Amino acid sequence: MAHALAQIAETGAHQASARDVLDQPLANQRARAGAGVALATMLIDETQQQSRKLHQYVESLMALDVDGRKGFIDYLGQVMKERKALVKENGTTLYKKIEASAGVRLSEFRTIAKSIGEGFVPDLTQNYHTIVGMARELLASKGKKDNRGRKPTHGLVKAMKYLEKLEALDEMDEAMIQTLLAAAQKMAVEAGLTVEAEEAPM
């Protein structure tokens, strides 16, 4: 990786024009920007390679029968549920965000598997992300909108979560936030809503 980064820096340096030689600060700026472009190019290449690997899993998924897909969907769901329970019990806010990001691909593949069960035939000439989008559209057209592994969250519950995460400016601000949160919690109880119920997985 260090060698690759050195090459990036060299590539950026070479992108400086002859005119820039007369303006060294501008030449340095162009070189740094060129290094950023080179790194972005490498990243794009890497993500394309990952997309091709995921594409192979889609092809393998298509080869499964009904029982195979059910086992696939159920096991991914179980793993996602266990991860969420672990995060809820021990995870920090940062860890929760990391887990949410890490679980995206598993959720996408559950969506593809479910859509195949509804008659979707992935077009393997398309890239992985296009296939995911098409799978979601098919589920939505059949009234089975993809909610990415969770039930829709009530707006009031979202508001409560937002209030809980707010950082108060001072004691007065904190008091006002807690007043709003208490009012929201009271309305949630009256409406039969709880954060736990809204977050119930799959």
Q: 43 or 195, which is more confident?
A: 43
Given this model, what pLDDT does residue 162 score? Answer: 81
Mean pLDDT across 2-7: 56
Task: Tell me the pLDDT band of 61, cut-offs 50, 70 and 90.
Answer: very high
Domain that holds residue 13: 1-52
Query: Taking Cα atoms as reference points, which of 113, 99, 17, 104 lies closest to residue 59?
Result: 113
Report whether 201 contacts 81 (CB < 8 A). yes
Same domain, 193 and 145: no
How many domains is the chain built from? 3
Residue 186 domain-assigned (yes or no)? yes
Task: Tell me the pLDDT band of 19, cut-offs 50, 70 and 90.
Answer: low
Inform me whether the pLDDT recorded for 68 exceeds 80. yes
Inform me whether the pLDDT recorded for 113 exceeds 50. yes
- Count Cβ atoms within 10 A of the Cβ of residue 6 and give its class: 0-12 exposed, 13-18 middle, 19 or more buried: exposed
Residue 99 domain-assigned (yes or no)? yes
Residue 126 domain-assigned (yes or no)? yes
Give the helix/strand (H/E) hosting 140.
helix 128-141
Residue type, 144: K
Given this model, what pLDDT does residue 7 score? Answer: 57
Tracing tokens 């159920």 back to the chain, one arrives at 74
Same domain, 75 and 101: yes
Same domain, 131 and 74: yes
Query: Taking Cα atoms as reference points, which of 170, 169, 150, 168 lies closest to residue 158?
Result: 150
Same domain, 115 and 143: yes
Same domain, 94 and 169: no
Inform me whether the pLDDT recorded for 150 exceeds 60. no
Residue 57 domain-assigned (yes or no)? no
Q: Residues 177, 178, 179, 185: what is their CA dihedral angle, to the nearest 10 degrees?
A: 110
Report whether 131 contacts 52 (CB < 8 A). no
Residue 135 domain-assigned (yes or no)? yes
Residue 59 domain-assigned (yes or no)? no
